[in-house]
Amino acid sequence: MTTGLRIIFLGPPGAGKGTQAQRLANKWQIPHISTGEILRQAIAANTPLGQQAKQYVDKGELVPDELLADLIRDRLSQTDAQQGWLLDGFPRTLNQAKFLDKLLTEDLNQIYDYVVNLEVPDEVLVERLLGRGRKDDTEATIRRRLQVYREQTAALIDYYRHHANFQSIDGNRPPETVTESLQQAIGA
């Protein structure tokens, strides 16, 4: 088992972040933390967080940074996250990235080891998302989520390229091949 690995997954919706993070989380026995999944569960359970997030998630908009800040602080403070984690879907804005840096260094005394960016062409993303059948995977929200990614999230690539051990991986290949590339990139 590899412990202490902390990896941030970047990439547009449909790039395979969730699939790859889950595979590696199983392999390494560290938590796969998907903010989208946590929000979907909160919405299903109709918690206060879910009630506040639902209107945004349904439309493919980003949930406000303040809600995500509380969510990620709580999740990364839990016991199972002290041995490492794979972050999928957070951060999604520059503001969130700066919040995460501060949280890790000032409160949690942790550093991330790698930032991996999964690259997949737009036309493949749309095809994949349409085939996934999640509730927020209608054609209109898919188009909106890709636009939101370009407008608000893609800039993180430049943020992390200069800040961390950054790797870009071709995500337009079979899942097993992508997993192998990720493991090579991470040296695990």
Active site members: 17, 92, 132, 134, 145
Q: Where are the beta strands (DSSP E) in the chain?
A: 5-10, 32-34, 84-88, 114-119, 166-170
In the list 16, 36, 84, 171, the residue contacting ligand AMP (rule: CB under 6 A) is: 36
Q: Is 89 in the site for ligand AMP (CB under 6 A)?
A: yes
In the list 6, 23, 75, 145, the residue contacting ligand AMP (rule: CB under 6 A) is: 145
Near ligand AMP in 121-140, by CB under 6 A: none
Near ligand AMP in 47-66, by CB under 6 A: 56-57, 60-63
Per CB under 6 A, the segment of 43-51, 85-93, 121-129, 155-163 that binds ligand AMP is: 85-93
The residue count for binding ligand AMP (CB under 6 A) is 18
Q: Is 90 in the site for ligand AMP (CB under 6 A)?
A: yes
Place of tokens 């909106």: 144
Q: Is 39 in the site for ligand AMP (CB under 6 A)?
A: yes
Residue whose CB is less far from ligand AMP, 66 or 158: 66
Taking the complex as a whole, the smallest distance from the CB of residue 91 to ligand AMP amounts, in Å, to 6
Q: 175 and 14 in contact (C-beta within 8 Å)? A: no
Cα distance between residue 44 and residue 14, in whole Å: 22
Q: Is 85 in the site for ligand AMP (CB under 6 A)?
A: no
Closest-approach residue to ligand AMP (CB): 36
Interacting residues toward ligand AMP by CB under 6 A? 13, 34-36, 39, 56-57, 60-63, 68, 89-92, 96, 145
